[in-house]
Amino acid sequence: MSAATLLTNPTTMSNALPNEISPAVLLARQEQGKRDVLLDVREQNEWNLFRLPDAIHLPLARVSSSASEALARFPDEEIVVYCARGARSAQAVEMLRAQGYNATSLAGGIAAWIDAGGEVEE
């Protein structure tokens, strides 16, 4: 693969998944009955306020050391990672992909999810 291909199509660098999924696309997938594995990488105090339903909590600082335990039931499934606005989830996606997971970041984080009409739970 050429460097030009990697620069024009960055998703080919680690795997075929895009780096991000929009809240609208995730909502549409849920409406079609697809249940993605949702991974919240925010801190405990943020998680305590609200989260996406059925999400798994694993703070960013623990992703490298604890992902295999937290995600053991989902070795081949796509992991949609989110945080408050998208920066930490992008970092977590890189860490997870390095460990062999199919991970994608929720664009704009939980803030964009709420703005798009996505459901949260307390």
- Residues noted as catalytic: 83
Torsion angle (degrees, nearest 10) of CA 91, 36, 53, 120: 70
Which residue from 73, 74, 39 is spatially nearest to 57, judged by alpha carbons? 39
Q: How far apart are the first and last CA of the chain?
A: 46
* DSSP designation for 51: B
CA distance to 48, 66, 112, per residue, from 45 (Å): 5, 19, 19
